[in-house]
Chain A
């Protein structure tokens, strides 16, 4: 029988209690390997430190952070595999995640001390031997019935620190496991899953704190950024993303208000304004700022919430020590198209200036001064942006008023065709910045949407006003486009067109290479300067994970997760037709050059 946990009675009554011991020990499965790992070298016995994490970009022997460095540039200085020899690359091994749970695999591997750690669909964490692919241990979160992940049961990766490997689960827990044994060290409830909360992002660790956002939740929840002690899981600070709400410190003590009450919201709408932070963020040691994107405002219909609706659809710069917002920049003020602003903001330097860049759902590529959030430029990175003609010198969009979906009435509102679609010029999948070519490599999609207001829709058994969307590809022969963009000029140096939408992350290397995966199943390598396709390999299922590279024993390895899923196959219409033949999967693939 179905046993549903209710708010008033059930398994997690008093779920906010801290669990010193694993809370679900009985149900979690940890499978030790037949063979135990060789004793670790003394250098790695204690595990990665804060300094190691901050230095991740410069240590190609390991991958300790989501983004291959706190800045999230996803760039490797390695040159063993390069544009001249990548065509020879072959699989070293493949490791299956097994089970019947072959859904979207969106994770980025972590590589340390001879192990590869990957998360899998349904909140699983695997430790594989980095040389052989042999599974050392596996942790399966015991998920309760009745959780409601919005867009597939994905997980984007783990974080590593000291003796711990840490990841979030679909029932909105954060779990720290011993990285050698998979045994639970701490397990904290971040939010009540039975109010619709879940967790899919890779956590980030800065100065001994796990920093993360929130996702899901009943309609009208507000976004938050939170920090917990990496050793105990205790909450240090919590910062709401919507102005008017109070921050919280250790022990639940109120701290400071976010922004100014009712500056850009009317009435009590700020209490339920949206702005979820479900993708996590990046960190810049240089300015000591965490950069995190916020989701779109609610309610959906923008006519009901006049004002800019801060800080939705924005990038926030937050002091990791205090949880205070240092600056903000709003990419879509008063959003009316569902242009969620969660995409990553990647710090980079140009002409001696400290900048950062973000390729937004709304189709524009933003360059900002990362020290103060001042606008530098916004250039389209997709072929069509109907909602705004561009951005003025102050960094404000020049809206096309005719392209905002009309106010609802008793009749079906006029249908507006807007591009990009709500799935974005770029969705969750992270771009890369090459320190070699000084270009950004953006996984983008060419689609628009019909949007209209529905006079009669139904929710929770009642009539309500809804919005209708139909996503339409802009072109017959492709939806996905990988683009190389010069952040100085906004010019596109080259593009690679792909029939299905691109949904995986990008990696660039000093070997003049760019890697990304496709739903058709390929991991592909391109010449970073020209975009010429140099190598491809079919992994057997769609690739929607983020590739990484490292070196071990003088050999360079490239790894990516294979396993089709994520949000794309969940939408109908013409896009679904383009991807319906793709088979499910769940495997880690590792490649290298053959030994001559």
Chain B
């Protein structure tokens, strides 16, 4: 199965196909019900994951709860399995729901705030950026983390399958490192393999690396120099609501800007070991 080949119908055609799709709940209705349904990614440390007691925790979970609290509501948070791309996730969680039933959520956390992406996903309104994400390399203490990447040849490298770090390490530099890459199912797992001595180098998102440094910094160090020819300038992370909930979207934009100003976002990020990075799209 290939990536993003199943982009489903968008726009008017989708409406024609799913005439019964429910309208988003108005702000009045949210207030009357007293509940804000929040969707977060499953197994997505440090943003949303389950601790040893199965409790759903993480940065996105806490920001969602903060939004609900500010609206005078209780957050009802669901962690969902990622589909082939974020456009599919928006369809499943925000504007249509799954074909197999289940309700849509009022807001989805951790949606890229990117103009091209928003144009291609016009059934959702995307905004309220709260972080700018990028990639970072972490190494075991006995590994020189600052060498040009081709010199990692023969070292054990770890990356999340199919991610930009995977493409960078497996496909970059003429593929010289391809046989040295161990593929795991998440960025967190890639860093864990360095922590556990199973790998020398991991490439993951900045938030994943910094969060891992919070507990276990004695076994990791971070590459300070740039990663040459990394095919990603970084991206902004925000929230999404259904296209007919623009009033809620506007409210969220203002609210999240307020949280960034008054330090509440910074505090949540810091709690999980992540350094605040202001989004570019504000």
Could you list which residues of chain A lie within 8 angstroms of chain B, going by C-beta atoms?
1-2, 4, 6-9, 103, 122, 143, 145-153, 170, 194-196, 218-220, 266-269, 271-272, 274, 276, 295-296, 298-301, 303-304, 306, 338, 407-410, 422, 454-469, 569-572, 576, 580
B202 interface contact, C-beta 8 A: no
In the complex, what residues of B have CB within 8 A of residue A4's CB? 78-80, 102
In the complex, what residues of A have CB within 8 A of residue B117's CB? 458
B73 to chain A, nearest CB (A): 14
- When the two chains form their complex, are residues B171 and A458 in contact, meaning their CB atoms are under 8 A apart? no
User: How many angstroms from the CA of A196 to the CA of B100 in the assembled complex?
Assistant: 13
B180 interface contact, C-beta 8 A: yes
B13 interface contact, C-beta 8 A: yes
Among A271, A276, A458, A572, contact of B114 (Cβ-Cβ < 8 Å): A458
- When the two chains form their complex, are residues A146 and B98 in contact, meaning their CB atoms are under 8 A apart? yes
Complex: chain B residue closest to A170, CB-CB:
B100
In the complex, what residues of A have CB within 8 A of residue B79's CB? 4, 6
In the complex, what residues of B have CB within 8 A of residue A195's CB? 81
In the complex, what residues of A have CB within 8 A of residue B170's CB? 267, 304
Among A457, A469, A572, A576, contact of B85 (Cβ-Cβ < 8 Å): A457
In the complex, what residues of B have CB within 8 A of residue A267's CB? 170, 178-182
User: How many angstroms from the CA of A469 to the CA of B105 in the assembled complex?
Assistant: 29
In the complex, what residues of B have CB within 8 A of residue A152's CB? 99
With A274-B1, A580-B16, A580-B17 in contact, is A459–B162 under 8 Å at CB? yes
B217 to chain A, nearest CB (A): 23
With A408-B167, A410-B231 in contact, is A151–B54 under 8 Å at CB? no
Among B2, B83, B175, contact of A296 (Cβ-Cβ < 8 Å): B2
B110 interface contact, C-beta 8 A: yes
In the complex, what residues of B have CB within 8 A of residue A468's CB? 4
27 residue pairs bridging A and B, Cβ less than 8 Å apart = A4-B78, A122-B100, A146-B81, A218-B81, A267-B180, A274-B1, A298-B2, A300-B2, A300-B3, A304-B166, A304-B170, A304-B171, A306-B175, A408-B171, A422-B5, A456-B232, A457-B3, A458-B85, A458-B86, A459-B4, A459-B162, A460-B82, A467-B2, A570-B8, A571-B7, A572-B10, A580-B17
- Chain B 164-184, CB within 8 Å of chain A: the 1/0 string? 101100110001001111110
B141 interface contact, C-beta 8 A: no
- When the two chains form their complex, are residues A1 and B103 in contact, meaning their CB atoms are under 8 A apart? yes
B6 interface contact, C-beta 8 A: yes
With A103-B99, A153-B99, A459-B86 in contact, is A196–B3 under 8 Å at CB? no
- When the two chains form their complex, are residues B80 and A463 in contact, meaning their CB atoms are under 8 A apart? no
Number of contact residues on B: which range applies? 35 or more
B23 interface contact, C-beta 8 A: no
- When the two chains form their complex, are residues B183 and A271 in contact, meaning their CB atoms are under 8 A apart? yes
User: How many angstroms from the CA of A459 to the CA of B232 in the assembled complex?
Assistant: 14
B242 to chain A, nearest CB (A): 15
User: Given A145-B98, A301-B167, 13 more contacts at CB 8 Å?
Assistant: A145-B102, A153-B99, A219-B1, A219-B162, A267-B179, A274-B1, A306-B178, A408-B171, A410-B231, A422-B5, A457-B3, A469-B4, A572-B9
A309 to chain B, nearest CB (A): 13
- When the two chains form their complex, are residues B2 and A266 in contact, meaning their CB atoms are under 8 A apart? no
User: How many angstroms from the CA of A460 to the CA of B81 in the assembled complex?
Assistant: 9
Complex: chain A residue closest to B56, CB-CB:
A6
Among B105, B181, B185, B232, contact of A268 (Cβ-Cβ < 8 Å): B181
Complex: chain A residue closest to B208, CB-CB:
A462
A424 to chain B, nearest CB (A): 12
Instruction: Kindly identify, within residues 185 to 227 of chain B, every residue whose CB is under 8 Å from any CB belonging to chain A.
Output: 185, 205
- Chain B 68-91, CB within 8 Å of chain A: the 1/0 string? 000000001011111111110100
In the complex, what residues of A have CB within 8 A of residue B182's CB? 267-268
Complex: chain B residue closest to A300, CB-CB:
B2
- Chain B 110-142, CB within 8 Å of chain A: the 1/0 string? 111010110000000000000001000000000
- When the two chains form their complex, are residues A148 and B9 in contact, meaning their CB atoms are under 8 A apart? no
- When the two chains form their complex, are residues A272 and B13 in contact, meaning their CB atoms are under 8 A apart? no
- When the two chains form their complex, are residues B85 and A2 in contact, meaning their CB atoms are under 8 A apart? no
B152 to chain A, nearest CB (A): 13
A287 to chain B, nearest CB (A): 31
B208 to chain A, nearest CB (A): 10
B50 interface contact, C-beta 8 A: yes
B257 interface contact, C-beta 8 A: no
In the complex, what residues of B have CB within 8 A of residue A143's CB? 100-101
List the 7 closest pairs (A to B, CB-CB), nearest first. Answer: A461-B110, A145-B102, A460-B82, A300-B2, A267-B179, A458-B86, A9-B54
- When the two chains form their complex, are residues B183 and A220 in contact, meaning their CB atoms are under 8 A apart? yes
In the complex, what residues of A have CB within 8 A of residue B237's CB? 461
- When the two chains form their complex, are residues A570 and B167 in contact, meaning their CB atoms are under 8 A apart? no
B163 interface contact, C-beta 8 A: yes
User: How many angstroms from the CA of A441 to the CA of B164 in the assembled complex?
Assistant: 44
User: How many angstroms from the CA of A196 to the CA of B8 in the assembled complex?
Assistant: 18
In the complex, what residues of A have CB within 8 A of residue B100's CB? 122, 143, 145, 147, 149, 153, 170
Complex: chain B residue closest to A423, CB-CB:
B5
Instruction: Kindly identify, within residues 45 to 59 of chain B, every residue whose CB is under 8 Å from any CB belonging to chain A.
Output: 47, 50, 54
A560 to chain B, nearest CB (A): 23
User: Which one of B36-44, B143-151, B248-256, B261-269 is at the interface?
Assistant: B36-44
Complex: chain B residue closest to A338, CB-CB:
B2
- When the two chains form their complex, are residues B163 and A464 in contact, meaning their CB atoms are under 8 A apart? yes
- When the two chains form their complex, are residues B10 and A409 in contact, meaning their CB atoms are under 8 A apart? no
B233 to chain A, nearest CB (A): 9
User: How many angstroms from the CA of A266 to the CA of B16 in the assembled complex?
Assistant: 46
B32 interface contact, C-beta 8 A: no
- When the two chains form their complex, are residues B179 and A576 in contact, meaning their CB atoms are under 8 A apart? no
In the complex, what residues of B have CB within 8 A of residue A151's CB? 6
In the complex, what residues of B have CB within 8 A of residue A456's CB? 114, 116, 232, 235
In the complex, what residues of B have CB within 8 A of residue A295's CB? 1
With A148-B92, A464-B164 in contact, is A6–B175 under 8 Å at CB? no
- When the two chains form their complex, are residues A572 and B7 in contact, meaning their CB atoms are under 8 A apart? yes
Among B2, B50, B92, B178, contact of A422 (Cβ-Cβ < 8 Å): B2
Among B16, B43, B44, B80, contact of A146 (Cβ-Cβ < 8 Å): B80
User: How many angstroms from the CA of A464 to the CA of B135 in the assembled complex?
Assistant: 11
B282 interface contact, C-beta 8 A: no
A339 to chain B, nearest CB (A): 10
In the complex, what residues of B have CB within 8 A of residue A218's CB? 81, 185
In the complex, what residues of A have CB within 8 A of residue B235's CB? 456, 458, 462-463
With A300-B2, A410-B231 in contact, is A461–B102 under 8 Å at CB? no
- The CB with the most chain A CB atoms within 10 A, among B10, B102, B235, is that of B102
In the complex, what residues of B have CB within 8 A of residue A1's CB? 35, 37, 76, 103
User: How many angstroms from the CA of A409 to the CA of B162 in the assembled complex?
Assistant: 15
With A410-B229, A464-B162 in contact, is A147–B98 under 8 Å at CB? yes
In the complex, what residues of A have CB within 8 A of residue B205's CB? 462
User: How many angstroms from the CA of A458 to the CA of B42 in the assembled complex?
Assistant: 16
